[in-house]
Amino acid sequence: MHLDIWLLGGATLVLCAIVAVRISHRAGLPTLLAYMGIGLFIGEGGPFHLNFDNAQLAETLGLAALVLILAEGGITTNWRHVRPSVPAALAVSTLGTLISIGIVAGAAGWLLGMDWRLAFLLAAVLAPTDAAAVFSVLRRLPLPSRLSGLLEAESGFNDAPVVIVVITLSAHAGMPNLGELAAVMVYELVAGGLIGILIGWLGAAALRRMALPASGLYPIAVLSLAVGSYGAAAMAHSSGFLAVYVSALVLGNSRLPHRPATRGFAEGIAWLAQIGVFVMLGLLASPSELPNHILPALVIGFVLLLVARPASVLLATIGFRLTLGEKLFASWAGLRGAVPIVLATIPMVAQVPGSEELFSIVFNIVVLFTALQGPTLPLVARWCRLKSDEEARELNVEAAPLEELHADLLEIRVPPDSQLNGVEIFELRLPQGASITLVVRDGSSFVPETTTPLRGGDTLLVVTTDKARSAAERRLRAVSRRGKLAGWFGETGT
């Protein structure tokens, strides 16, 4: 009977969370607010009075969920899209994080009277942006590629250094040796990154040469390699969070069999992880204590939003040629989510004095400022005069491998305002080994002739060999951007 009740309750909870995703998506809110609301509703202050106060279990499950969320973020991130922004993202994730910690800690000590240890813990916990919140909101906005790449990469990179700071401050009652802390941080980040690259590269090479008996095993293998890199890095006393994100990034951008299925599987697992961690954190919070900490949460939240985050972005991105509008938007788009709340459980487990107060402040900040920032991001993007650089003319490409032919089947969706509109098939001049085999238009499909003109809204099925694929994609992108004379304009489709 207990199993029946738990299965029914768990399935009902997941279905309610799925409905909440639909509602929050329409409202422009990150889904974390809906999930934490469900946790508060079924928790000790709700009608079900479900009492959950095991901070150690919450920390363990929360960190495990973050590993899965980071793995999904790496697998679904387009390396070609974020690569130009990686240096700026690393600067914001390291130098920017330290700047933010210093400003917020000073404000917490001066304005709230916190002791130095709790003030720095609060600042460190609030420093990282949340990958799940950033991916769920920003991927729906038409932003310049270098800006969206910066925000995506930053949310994947900045967990690692902050975890090191929070664990160090929670474990030592005295002032840590800053030189020793800096050396440990450099080692852990470098070693974690190298381990992630190595496991990702070796795993991709093995999966390309391994014929598994079922297609469903490939997504499981990819996710297992990414999660395993966390454990391998942790065994080497390095950053597991950076290792899992980097290895997932390598695997997700490698030419592997069944890549669309892998992405879909990783997204499904990440959704389950988000539902579980946010509901659990809502259960862990005490509704009777949260109102008592709204005022300090507002004070620190506005310092973080209006002072610390802008200062960290402006200073860390000096020399990276971002416009003032892009920097201002990046400052406003530093969304917090599960990561700060999960990190706030680490001092609780270490029994740091005042850690329960810190947890309530962090919980309030995440809820209040996510509700403020999430829905206003489109408006801020317009104020900053941001628009996508050719995003409407980029091509959405998915591939299914044809192993026996050593070829790929590409699905190309032609945007309505693409310069492919009106171009005849022969005018594309695709490389040898690539050809358009089918056109889907207005709900019907047909095999095109060489003189068939393409239209906006068409879906093209292109069969291409491995060697011709990159050249074919570049040519299609070039024509999509500048028309059939793209080469004369210097457009190469990169």
φ/ψ (deg, to 5) at 465: -75, 165
Tens of pLDDT, residues 208-252: 887 777 778 889 999 999 999 999 999 998 989 999 999 999 998
**Cα–Cα dist 338/118, whole Å:** 20
CATH of 2-383, one of 1.10.630.10, 1.20.58.1180, 1.20.1530.20, 3.30.465.10: 1.20.1530.20
Location of structure tokens 């499909």: 445
Tokens found for residue 399 = 């591939």
Q: For the chain, what is the mean pLDDT? A: 83
| Residue the block writes with tokens 């850690």 | 355
Burial of 433 (0-12, 13-18, 19+ CB in 10 A): middle
pLDDT at 62: 87
As a whole number of angstroms, the distance between CA 309 and CA 431 comes to 48
For residues 95 and 88, the answer to whether their CB atoms sit within 8 Å is no
- Cα–Cα distance measured from residue 248 to residue 75, given in angstroms and rounded to the nearest whole number: 5
Most confident of 20-29, 229-238, 454-463: 229-238
> Are 135 and 82 spatial neighbours (Cβ–Cβ below 8 Å)?
no
Exposure string (b/e) for 308-320, b if CB count within 10 Å is 16 or more? Answer: bbbbbbbebbeeb
Look-up: residue for tokens 């793995």? 71
Average confidence (pLDDT) over 267-287: 83
Q: For 125-150, how does the pLDDT look when each residue is reduced to its tens digit (9 = 90+)?
A: 999 887 666 766 666 677 787 888 88
Residue 402, beta-bridge partner list: 407
Amino acid at 182: A
pLDDT of 392 > 50? The answer is no
Q: What CA–CA distances, in Å, run from 254 to 13, 75, 206?
A: 36, 10, 11
- When comparing pLDDT for 34 and 306, which is higher? 306
Contact indicator for 478, 491 with CB cutoff of 8 Å = yes
Judge whether residue 44 has pLDDT over 80: no
Domain assignments of the chain as residue spans, ordered by start: 2-383, 391-489
Q: What φ, ψ does residue 424 adopt, rounded to 5°?
A: -80, 155
Closest residue by Cα to residue 431 from 461, 462, 397: 462
Fold match between 2-383 and 391-489?
no
The answer as to CATH 3.40.50.300 being correct for domain 391-489 is no
Place of tokens 């530093």: 334
- Is residue 191 over pLDDT 90? yes
Residue 487 has pLDDT above 80, yes or no: no
How far is the C-alpha of 380 from the C-alpha of 374, rounded, in Å? Answer: 10
